[in-house]
Amino acid sequence: MTSHGGFADLVGPGAILIGIEAASKDALFEQLAATAAEVTGLPATRIIERVRERETLGATGFGQGAAIPHARLAGLEAVTAVVARLATGVDYGALDTEAVDVVVLLLSPDGAGADHLKALAKVSRALRDPDTLAAMRAAGDARALRAVIGGALVGQPG
């Protein structure tokens, strides 16, 4: 039985960005927040403010060029993710000092304590897997990337 179920269920239509350019971590957050605002209907300014607040507690770049910036927001209906693959890695202040080129912005409703942690664990598991990360980087378009984050890796042990 496979336990790598993926996290495509958290990623709505239009929430996968491929080949984006960002000159800085802040510019990256602005692009992610703009997309998240379109997907959730919440103001981008509020999203970016909450993500930056969370980031002051500790950088969310955890290594291998991947990061999961996350925040909780009042007024959000459900746990929502925006996936971005950058054309060029950005200096993110990650633990291993590697530039980040795969980012999953994870937003949860204010009261979604357990759901937020479950979603964070699910995304984290996927991004810590070198095969999944490589497949995310190799995906040619949003559809292919959605298949990867849906857990559609061939030859994965169960």
Those residues with Cβ within 8 angstroms of residue 121's Cβ, 6 or more apart along the chain or in another chain = none
Structure tokens at 7: 């996290």
CA distances from 81 to 53, 107, 156 (A): 18, 6, 24
CA distances from 92 to 33, 118, 152 (A): 16, 24, 28
Active site includes 4?
no
Identify the sign of the CA torsion 93, 97, 103, 105: negative
Q: Which of 50, 70, 116, 146 is catalytic?
A: 70
Q: What are the catalytic residues?
A: 70
